[in-house]
Amino acid sequence: MNNLIASTAVKARELTPEEIKEIEHEKTHYPYAQAVGLEALKIVQKYQGWVSDESLLAVSEYLDIPPDELEGVATFFNMIFRRPVGKNVILLCDSVACWMLGCDSLNEHFKKTLGIDYGETTADDMFTLIPVPCLGACDRAPVMMIGRETYYNLTTEKIDEIIAEYKAKG
């Protein structure tokens, strides 16, 4: 278990009314509250940007799921961020089709142009780069997602254009 959570110094924060409303809605889809753990973490992340120890404890208390069990869910599901992330999270697929079509060179390109490797965030907090398993579009590999947008048939030139658009939006 995460050391911070093991320490009594970390206290659960209060969930916001919006978070509670959405978690309650999710509960209607599951036979028992404990099954909602992952969805609740995703809801918290949607509002907070990432899942701090305080947030994880809040969900744990709200749904009556032991913190270490919830931590296990968060660790297993690599779209749950347990550290602060940048404003735009780049999910670069590194599964087999994307790998065969050069996602490694795209990763290198991110290192060169943004100065970040997997798991890192740019100094201006604009971008975080995360490797993810297959995004379900292997016929249009290499693929990445930023927010809700999916980008296909990537090249270094396309990436430069996409990143420039996000930078322009600020």
With binding defined as CB under 6 A, does residue 134 bind ligand FES? yes
What amino acid is encoded at 10 in this protein?
A: V
> Cis link prior to 133 (omega < 30° from 0)?
no
Which of 41, 143 has the CB closer to ligand FES?
143
Tell me how far apart the alpha carbons of residues 101 and 154 are, in angstroms, rounded to a whole number.
Answer: 9
Instruction: Give me 22's structure tokens.
Output: 């959405």
With binding defined as CB under 6 A, does residue 138 bind ligand FES? yes
Which of 95, 128 has the CB closer to ligand FES?
95
Burial class (CB in 10 A: 0-12, 13-18, 19+), 111: middle
Contacting ligand FES (CB under 6 A), which of 73, 97, 126, 146? 97
With binding defined as CB under 6 A, does residue 95 bind ligand FES? yes
What amino acid is encoded at 71 in this protein?
A: E
**Partners of 146 in beta bridges:** 90, 149
Contacting ligand FES (CB under 6 A), which of 74, 143, 154, 159? 143
Site residues (CB under 6 A) for ligand FES, limited to 9-38: none
Contacting ligand FES (CB under 6 A), which of 40, 58, 98, 106? 98
Cβ within 8 Å of residue 28, ≥6 positions away: none
In the complex, which residues of this chain contact ligand FES (CB under 6 A)? Answer: 93, 95-98, 134-138, 141, 143
